[in-house]
Structure 1
């Protein structure tokens, strides 16, 4: 009798140990163990490429060797090297508002490491290798300078998809940032190693094709999805290889990001030269080879000395994607004009006040002369006086026309703040979205939304990133995303009908603060003159040329 009880206890302990061990998947000859919680399972921090360290620094990502050793995948890997970001000196309500947005969306700096190319999978716990579920592949934002998948809980998406009866797999990836991922200059162009962060994303998408099936995903049903720099990355994945997706994805969902108005990779030469000087490589006959040997801490310190996303030059970023002749055969907006775009269903969106957060650094710019000098020095070093006149006429010093929009004379941190916020939001986000959608009208299915929620946030209004609180909080956008990934159409029972976007009817699903009517359908016809003006000016004067100082 005692032996029988012992046998029962032993069997129970084996079952308990198996459950505690967590769910497993087989990748090549390795067993990968994750964790389960409720209805979802997580497999985190899986390497998808060889470490971009040592001589692999500043080189294209290399595919991972077949997995041969079993391992646990229970925590996310470190972030890729981050750039130090400092908030402008603010006090009172402006500081409180900026801290809220930055710390909840951009400002969390995670432990980072140069060995960072890992991928994360969150799936329904009952998904099997034969489930063939749609996949949403998340690319985080952060100005190509900061960010990590650790900022976002994809379990919310998966749990909601299960509740809707349309289960999906959630994947998030790391990619190289700052100079590690977006080094620029003639040396970089000659070596064919520009836009490494975009190449990392592409490698992660290739990994999904090869390995998502064991998790229950269907490699033919991948939707790429991102916000801000992540959304720009999504759009640039659509432009790579002349618009050929190579079967890596079938749809794209973009929040606050479209093909950006950037120029050639050689425009960033000044930043390359500064990095070479700051790391002691100036005397080398091969400065790129020298940069591969610089100690990590010294290289990172030199990168931290370069302008960041909240520096005085603001969104004229030092480290960002540029036309390199390899990943991007031409500047993004010219590729759009040439029609070299993946013909897949897309969602492209913006928040109403995209430019406010990024305009806090220029509060000392207070009059007409100073804004002219600022724009010509920091944003458009090559602009003509006539074009500058046209631009300033399109974005006048009228507080009632500035951003945060529809707030009258309120939120004027300085005489030029709302004006500059309106210009920046349109130049980098709203106008590129409209330009992109207008060019693609009639060529593919498209939907667009505008988030006006959060207007009560002082000085920032419906700032960039505020819609993330909806989609990662299980709001209306969560359902639209899931249905879009599943059916290539965001519409479905229980949601406001979302019309397609065309030039004849540029419909916007508009999210409002109204409790009675939280969603309305509007038309994408606001600020037509301003956006048309800024689009034409930025086609002639692309972003990414260092300030003329």
Structure 2
């Protein structure tokens, strides 16, 4: 059975949508010329010169940037799903975008805009079948990986999936990464900064899907969340956000190699925030000052401190949107997701290569403390006993195996425990079977959409 089928197949049980999407019933297509305030007619043939369709939302009109009826789908690019998180909105929760008077032709940003390099980055793409109107199709929402420091909505694209079937709608969104999406600590929060903004951005994107995906022919009651690595953890954070007290925003999940290291707490985050702010001339970490710093300077200073300080850029327990690690929330029943769910891992996620920097057995203990600054001596000794030196050819391989467990593969256990018979565990042993080596098999992609010729 194709991996694709597992990713987008409809579930037997569908949970009702939590957002009211009754305002719109399928795509609204304008029939006037693009020289006016409206857009052109949906093409009925495969001609690359045919006009591209538009879809109306209550705050904007978006026009496809590529595709045609012959290949069977269209791409709508760079739809703003939140206000630009710049100026006073830096370090703030996402807000719904303002009304746009001009047609959005996908050029509000570069096609591959990334939050790693651009602060105005909260855009999403929608890929929809040419005949999506009124079909109420299943929806696949993609969340990319990148260690919470990189990645973008365009890192992978669904042409290969649409070559297999055009019976679903695809959405990919950006979320803030690095210091813009993961700033944390007592001073930061006391100053009014919102912790774990990457998780807030993800929630907002799923809320957008609930509110607007029916305009593109998608069914808000049949949404599958798909994520890889940090993106897989983003999906799990959505399952457990607010300790399970928040509405469910998707109905199925396909989680690939979720990665997340929860060990570094607020003390570590406070030191990092103070180090970065001081290096930028914002002594004391005051938010007003940090909001005036250019984005490039902010990112560069943060990256320098990360390298020098061995700081782990990860979401942290904040007592609010992340009241506890998602593993703890799952074990305690604090989640709002009923399944079904597939969670997969590669056979050798991270243990086939020695971990860089770990050259001696003493380094193993040192790096355990880097990842878990508050760990006790007894806990370190227990960990070393569970991964005995004699089982490994080198110290680097020993620590790599430890990190594979606490960063990646342990997530299966908590989710399987929580969801009982609604979880399917998968192991990928194809190729090198290392972290990310399975992605080519999932996406079936041998070509990309040419937006200059709509082919």
With the shorter chain as reference, the TM-score category is 0.7 to 0.9
Cα displacement (A) at 1:39: 1.7
In structure 2, how many angstroms separate the alpha carbons of the residues matched to 1:445 and 1:79?
36
1:464-483 equivalences under 5 Å are 464-473=435-444
In structure 2, how many angstroms separate the alpha carbons of the residues matched to 1:196 and 1:429?
22
Cα displacement (A) at 1:59: 0.7
In structure 1, how many angstroms separate the alpha carbons of the residues matched to 2:61 and 2:110?
18
Q: Scaled by the length of structure 2, what TM-score is found?
A: 0.80
Cα displacement (A) at 1:360: 3.9
Aligned to 1:207: 208
Cα displacement (A) at 1:304: 1.9
CA contact (8 A) 1:158 1:169 kept: no
1:214-247 superposed Cα distances (whole Å, 9 cap, x missing partner): 2110111111111000000100000113324524
Pick from 56, 69, 72 the counterpart of residue 102 of structure 2: 69
- 2:252 paired with 1:238: no
Aligned to 2:450: none
Gaps of 5+ in 2: 1-44, 447-455
Q: Say which SS state the counterpart of residue 374 (structure 2) adopts.
A: coil
In structure 1, how many angstroms separate the alpha carbons of the residues matched to 2:110 and 2:442?
21
Higher relative CO (Cα under 8 Å, sequence separation at least 6) belongs to 2
In structure 2, how many angstroms separate the alpha carbons of the residues matched to 1:234 and 1:358?
28
Aligned to 1:161: 165
Aligned to 2:172: 172
In structure 2, how many angstroms separate the alpha carbons of the residues matched to 1:219 and 1:245?
17
CA contact (8 A) 1:41 1:125 kept: yes
Pick from 350, 355, 368 the counterpart of residue 350 of structure 2: 355
Cα displacement (A) at 1:452: 1.6
Aligned to 2:30: none
CA contact (8 A) 1:258 1:436 kept: no
Pick from 343, 358, 370 the counterpart of residue 363 of structure 2: 370
CA contact (8 A) 1:122 1:158 kept: no
Change beyond 3 A, Cα 1:125–1:359: farther
CA contact (8 A) 2:243 2:321 kept: no
In structure 2, how many angstroms separate the alpha carbons of the residues matched to 1:425 and 1:417?
12
Aligned to 1:380: 372
Change beyond 3 A, Cα 1:334–1:264: farther
Aligned to 1:299: 298
In structure 1, how many angstroms separate the alpha carbons of the residues matched to 2:110 and 2:338?
31
CA contact (8 A) 2:263 2:373 kept: no
- 2:405 paired with 1:426: yes
Pick from 99, 124, 131 the counterpart of residue 126 of structure 1: 131
Q: Scaled by the length of structure 1, what TM-score is found?
A: 0.67
1:423-482 superposed Cα distances (whole Å, 9 cap, x missing partner): 1101111123223323x153x611110112223xxxxxx21111111101269xxxxxxx
In structure 1, how many angstroms separate the alpha carbons of the residues matched to 2:309 and 2:184?
21
1:26-45 equivalences under 5 Å are 26-28=56-58, 30-34=60-64, 35-37=66-68, 38-45=71-78
Aligned to 1:113: 118
In structure 1, how many angstroms separate the alpha carbons of the residues matched to 2:187 and 2:210?
33
In structure 1, how many angstroms separate the alpha carbons of the residues matched to 2:248 and 2:110?
27
CA contact (8 A) 1:357 1:464 kept: no
Structure number with larger C-alpha Rg? 1
Aligned to 1:436: 415
Aligned to 2:386: 394
In structure 2, how many angstroms separate the alpha carbons of the residues matched to 1:246 and 1:239?
10
Aligned to 2:269: 268
RMSD: 2.8
Pick from 24, 38, 43 the counterpart of residue 54 of structure 2: 24
Gaps of 5+ in 1: 1-14, 83-111, 403-411, 456-461, 476-549
Q: Say which SS state the counterpart of residue 209 (structure 2) adopts.
A: helix
1:186-197 equivalences under 5 Å are 186-190=186-190, 191=192, 193-197=194-198
Aligned to 2:312: 318
CA contact (8 A) 2:240 2:329 kept: yes
Q: Say which SS state the counterpart of residue 212 (structure 1) adopts.
A: helix
In structure 2, how many angstroms separate the alpha carbons of the residues matched to 1:172 and 1:132?
19
In structure 2, how many angstroms separate the alpha carbons of the residues matched to 1:116 and 1:320?
20
In structure 2, how many angstroms separate the alpha carbons of the residues matched to 1:58 and 1:32?
28
1:229-278 superposed Cα distances (whole Å, 9 cap, x missing partner): 00001000001133245242112211011675346445411110111111
CA contact (8 A) 2:128 2:216 kept: yes
In structure 2, how many angstroms separate the alpha carbons of the residues matched to 1:169 and 1:266?
43
The aligned length equals 398
Change beyond 3 A, Cα 1:453–1:306: farther
CA contact (8 A) 1:182 1:195 kept: yes
Change beyond 3 A, Cα 1:452–1:306: farther
Aligned to 2:422: 445
- 2:129 paired with 1:152: no
CA contact (8 A) 1:235 1:258 kept: no
CA contact (8 A) 1:350 1:449 kept: yes
Cα displacement (A) at 1:388: 2.0
Cα displacement (A) at 1:359: 4.9
CA contact (8 A) 1:32 1:72 kept: yes
Aligned to 2:146: 142
1:16-36 superposed Cα distances (whole Å, 9 cap, x missing partner): 999543122122374321121
In structure 2, how many angstroms separate the alpha carbons of the residues matched to 1:41 and 1:368?
55
